[in-house]
Amino acid sequence: MNIVLIGDGGHGKVVQDLVLLHKNIKLVAFLDDKHSEVYTKGNLIVGPISFAETVMGMFQNVKFVITIGDNKVRKKIINKLNLPHIYYATLIHPTATISPSTTIGHGSVIMAHAVINADSYIGDHVIVNTNSIVEHENIVGDFVHLSPSTTLTGACKIQEGVHIGAGATVIPNIEIGQWSVIGAGSAVIKPIPPNSTAVGVPAKVKEKHKMGEVLVNQIKNKKILLSPPHLSGNEWKYIQEAIDTNWIAPLGPNVDAFEKEMASYLGVRDAVAVSSGTAAIHLALSLLDVKKGDTVFCSTLTFVASANPILYQGALPVFIDSEPETWNMSPEALERAFRDAQLSGQLPKAVIVVNLYGQSAKMEEILAICSRYEVPIIEDAAESLGSQYKGKKSGTFGQFGVFSFNGNKIVTTSGGGMLVSDDVNAIQKARFLATQAKDPAPYYEHSEMGYNYRMSNVLAGIGRAQLEVLEERVNAKRVTFLKYYKELSGLPGVRFMPELEGTLSNRWLTTLTIDEEITGISATQLIQSLADDHIEARHVWKPLHLQPLFKDAKYLSHREHTSISETLFMTGICLPSGSNMSNDEQLRVIESLKKAILQRAKMTHPISG
Ligand SMILES: *Cc1c(COP(=O)(O)O)cnc(C)c1O
């Protein structure tokens, strides 16, 4: 890794010494606007901050750290550089003691002899200075500066931009509001509101300042999205290759490599990259010879894309309810659907099983039932790339597995999909059908109807870079879930989507249900209340058997008169879960949710006296 430090002052010098202790990190430039011209000092480039972009072009794998102690200045520079998170390095002094259960954000620096204990979160661009102690379960927001020998004793919440002076101590469970300043040597034993200066033992608020409020309001109004794309930084490399070699076509080396990399990651024999997840499902149905008048069983609690291809083939969907432990296809309802089908003399041609929000369906039970009736499974793993079921990768259980790389999915190519299988001949046939079913002849000859479903070589390049960081993304999504869970699972009437024992969910979206009778607020009202705070949350999928499009389709509920999917739809909401969501953004979501739920609870059950 090549490091560029921005901020050639006292703090910069100390970080420079820290960098020299790491053999695998090379300091290549020191930028600061006090240097008006670019020159070299030995191997080191010195110059103004505007030279940053040029330095990125000069070296591979360049990462930045802003080495300026002033939190506002640090934030201003970050805003100006406007680079993805991944371009900022996290630097840790070898003598620092850091619990493996902590999370430390990008651009943060942990100095000599600092201690960070269990389950603490350190945001982005934070300075944990020499000899500071961050005990267990503290949350330290972005752009915080803990001066030398600061102590956070436990479960403190230090909001964005807070500056804590040297030697100050914060007792457990205390929150310090955004952009506040704590004087050196202070003892903070009461919460400190935002934008305040507090000093003394015990610390008392001395003045309120306006400066921070402008920043805070700007941040408050920034919209937090459900699951925006999160690029890794390597996408350009593959796109550049495609452009340099003029492979601007569907097919090409990136497509071949992306297919191989996916197959090898999943442990399947073959994979074909296509233009969308929907196209992949369509090809699977086509390969299973689903025709007009056939029936196909399909999970009801899903996006319409799972079932649209059934209609493309002129077949009839039969929708199967969810069960409560995974929210996915109920084996009980599936069994009843098969019994009904057998009585009527028409078994389905295929069963489409969806793994919702990253949670795998009960594959063992579903596989057993389907194999008894000898009906193939198409596993719609559009939302569960990176998840596991009993140690095996999600999407590898059926005859076919389907993935989507739409913009909001855990790996994106802006738009795209993949069909995978151990049946190499079937994937070969899918490749043929997806390329207009062009016969192997010296001229354009076609004996079968085909589709134009292949993935572009440029987009496959994006997919390759995204796949490289999949594990990181899964970890980030799971940490996001855990933070929500820790803060909200104690609220009465709130329940999170479970994770079935023996499975690992990628937690693509953190999803919970809200009991209106207990909380006094409905899912719809809660989504509106979050929207008022510029936070995007969404309803759980509306079950397909309730869609006007499928009003004539057959539906089997989990148990008679018990529809799980309908209840989940009425009560479920998906929370912002972007793997690039900052700590502070997530705190905003949590505060907004708590505010909405607790306010209503008070209105519904007024406490007298
Ligand atoms: C996104 C999604 C699809 C479809 O993928 P596209 O690439 O958008 O066509 C299919 N099924 C589920 C469950 C999805 O979430």
Q: What is the pLDDT of residues 524-534, one digit of tens each?
A: 999 999 999 99
Using CA atoms, how far residue 529 sits from 186, 520, 534, in Å, is 38, 13, 9
pLDDT band at 602 (very low <50, low <70, confident <90, very high): low
Using CA atoms, how far residue 395 sits from 209, 309, 523, in Å, is 54, 18, 30
Distance (Å, rounded) from C-alpha 329 to C-alpha 307?
14
* φ and ψ at residue 385, rounded to 5 degrees: -65, 130
pLDDT at position 607: 46
354 lines ligand 1 (CB under 6 A): yes
Other Cβ atoms closer than 10 A to 451? 18
Q: What is the pLDDT of residues 207-244, one digit of tens each?
A: 776 544 455 555 567 899 999 888 877 888 888 888 88
Looking at domain 2-87, its CATH architecture is 3-Layer(aba) Sandwich (3.40)
Among 356, 404, 453, 577, residue to substitute to test ligand 1 (most atoms within 8 Å of Cβ): 404
pTM: 0.68
pLDDT at position 248: 78
Q: Is 9 annotated as a binding residue?
A: no
Domain ranges of the chain: 2-87, 94-218, 235-469, 471-604
Mean pLDDT confidence for 572-595: 93
Question: Residue 188: CB partners within 8 Å, gap ≥ 6?
Answer: 168, 169, 170, 171, 174, 176, 182, 198, 202, 203
Q: Is 69 annotated as a binding residue?
A: yes
pLDDT at position 246: 84
Using CA atoms, how far residue 550 sits from 29, 103, 196, 318, 557, in Å, is 61, 46, 57, 10, 16
Contact 369, 378 (CB under 8 A): no
CA of 107 to the centre of ligand 1 (A): 34
Q: What is the pLDDT of residues 4-59, one digit of tens each?
A: 999 999 999 999 999 999 999 999 999 999 998 999 998 899 999 999 988 988 88
Own/partner contacts of 81-90, CB < 8 Å, gap of 24 or more, are 81/49, 81/52, 84/231, 84/233, 84/580, 85/124, 85/580, 86/231, 86/232, 86/233, 87/62, 87/63, 87/233, 88/63, 88/64, 88/124, 88/125, 89/1, 89/3, 89/25, 89/63, 89/64, 89/65
Which residues carry out catalysis? 136
Distance (Å, rounded) from C-alpha 315 to C-alpha 467?
34
309 lines ligand 1 (CB under 6 A): no
CA of 480 to the centre of ligand 1 (A): 22
277 lines ligand 1 (CB under 6 A): yes
Q: Is the pLDDT of residue 581 over 60?
A: yes
pLDDT at position 83: 83
pLDDT at position 30: 95
Mean pLDDT confidence for 364-372: 98
Which residue lies with its CA nearest to atom 2 of ligand 1? 382
What is the spatial order of strands in the sheet that 169-170 belongs to?
Answer: 97-98, 115-116, 133-134, 151-152, 169-170, 187-188
Q: What is the mean pLDDT of the chain?
A: 93
Mean pLDDT confidence for 503-521: 95
Say what angle helices 71-81 and 211-221 make with each other, to 10 degrees: 40
Distance (Å, rounded) from C-alpha 410 to C-alpha 367?
26
Distance (Å, rounded) from C-alpha 156 to C-alpha 170?
7
Other Cβ atoms closer than 10 A to 329? 34
463 lines ligand 1 (CB under 6 A): no
Comparing 55-59, 104-108, 422-426, 588-592, the range with the smallest average pLDDT is 55-59
Token readout for 398 is 């059926």
Q: Is the pLDDT of residue 606 over 50?
A: no
Question: How many helices, marked H, and strands, marked E, lie in the chain?
Answer: 17, 39
pLDDT at position 234: 85
Terminal Cα distance for the chain, rounded: 62
Looking at domain 94-218, its CATH architecture is 3 Solenoid (2.160)
pLDDT at position 252: 87
380 lines ligand 1 (CB under 6 A): yes
Distance (Å, rounded) from C-alpha 172 to C-alpha 286?
61
* DSSP assignments along 184-227, one per residue: TT-EE-S-B-TTEEEETTTTEEEEE-SHHHHHHHHHHHSPBPSS
Which residue lies with its CA nearest to atom 11 of ligand 1? 306
Using CA atoms, how far residue 138 sits from 122, 170, 175, 321, in Å, is 8, 11, 10, 42
Mean pLDDT confidence for 352-356: 98
Q: Is the pLDDT of residue 344 over 90?
A: yes
The 10 Å CB-count burial string (b at 16+, else e) for 72-98 is eebbebbeeeebebbbbbbbbbeebeb
Mean pLDDT confidence for 287-312: 98
Q: What is the pLDDT of residues 145-187, one digit of tens each?
A: 999 999 999 999 999 999 999 999 999 999 999 999 999 999 9
303 lines ligand 1 (CB under 6 A): yes
Q: What is the pLDDT of residues 427-453, one digit of tens each?
A: 999 999 999 999 989 999 999 999 999
For residue 145, list its beta bridge partners.
127, 163
Mean pLDDT confidence for 199-203: 94
pLDDT at position 345: 96
pLDDT band at 592 (very low <50, low <70, confident <90, very high): very high
Token readout for 278 is 């929907």
pLDDT at position 476: 93
Distance (Å, rounded) from C-alpha 212 to C-alpha 492?
35
Determine the atom of ligand 1 nearest the C-alpha atom of 355: 13
Q: What is the pLDDT of residues 239-267, one digit of tens each?
A: 888 888 888 777 789 999 999 999 999 99
CA of 411 to the centre of ligand 1 (A): 12
Among 281, 355, 380, residue to substitute to test ligand 1 (most atoms within 8 Å of Cβ): 380
User: 607 or 80, which is more confident?
Assistant: 80
Determine the atom of ligand 1 nearest the C-alpha atom of 409: 1
Distance (Å, rounded) from C-alpha 224 to C-alpha 226?
7
CA of 278 to the centre of ligand 1 (A): 6
CA of 307 to the centre of ligand 1 (A): 10
CATH 3.40.640.10 describes domain 235-469: yes
- Element spanning 595, H or E: helix 583-604
* φ and ψ at residue 445, rounded to 5 degrees: -130, 135
CATH number of 471-604: 3.90.1150.10
412 lines ligand 1 (CB under 6 A): no
